Amino acid sequence: MTRVAIVTGAARGIGAATVARLAADGYQIMAVDSCEGPPLASRAELDALTAAHSDNVVAHIADVRDRSALAKAVTRTLEHWHRLDVVVACAAVMRGGAPLWETPDTDLDLLWEVDAKGVWNTAATTVPAMLTGPDPSGCRFVAIASAAGTHGMFHLAAYNAAKHAVVGIVKGLAADLVATGVTACAVSPGSTNTPMLQTTADLYSVTIDELTDHQLIRQPIDPAEIADTIALCASPAGRVLNGSVVHADGGFAS
């Protein structure tokens, strides 16, 4: 039986690494990204990803703020493969650089709409398809939170708020899914070597190496390492992680 996944924020970073890992595991994948271009991922990056895994991956352009566009991704997935087993909500943006009282409302609004409500929209459009599919007991919803979903980050209060919300969304979803067989969990990466990490370093005017001093491993995490963790959460064996936050953060601030 071939498992089928939807991955949002798929064009680069942890999303792209997750697509690559799931494709290697034999999944069929609907790779979803807004492809807005700099500072976000581009259509060329999404096309390169699908070309690299052409037998397993189909591209779908959708903004996670647009629930109808996500619903179309679910419809395409079911038309292609007639099932949905796994959803990985990776789409996110980064804003910050000022204390809470100086943070523009536009930054808070964007982070809420993409990083938090985007996970909500993704769950709202995909979970019903898993519940009515052929094997709900093997279905997994995985959201990417952050070390910022647990720890307070200097000059990132709005990002903190959004990522704490991701954790709350997942915990509430897991409670709603009780006894259905479908499970939900969050993965909280630490400083991972992605464009978003460089954005964070730029906000602080520090190097990536200085950021990773907060992790016991004293190195940036490779996106493939986070993808390995996500793959476990997405697997049938990930059932035991229901309602959990998996801290894949290299010992961040421990």
Kindly report the backbone phi and psi dihedral angles of residue 243, in degrees, each rounded to the nearest multiple of 5, phi listed first. Answer: 80, 5
Q: Is the dihedral of CA 119, 142, 8, 138 positive or negative?
A: negative
Verify whether residue 159 is a known catalytic residue: yes
Instruction: Report CA dihedral (46, 49, 50, 54) to the nearest 10 degrees.
Output: 170
Alpha-carbon torsion (87, 14, 224, 214), positive or negative: negative
Can you list the positions of beta strands (E) in the chain?
A: 4-8, 28-33, 57-61, 86-89, 140-144, 183-189, 245-248
The one catalytic residue among 27, 120, 159, 252: 159
Catalytic residues: 159
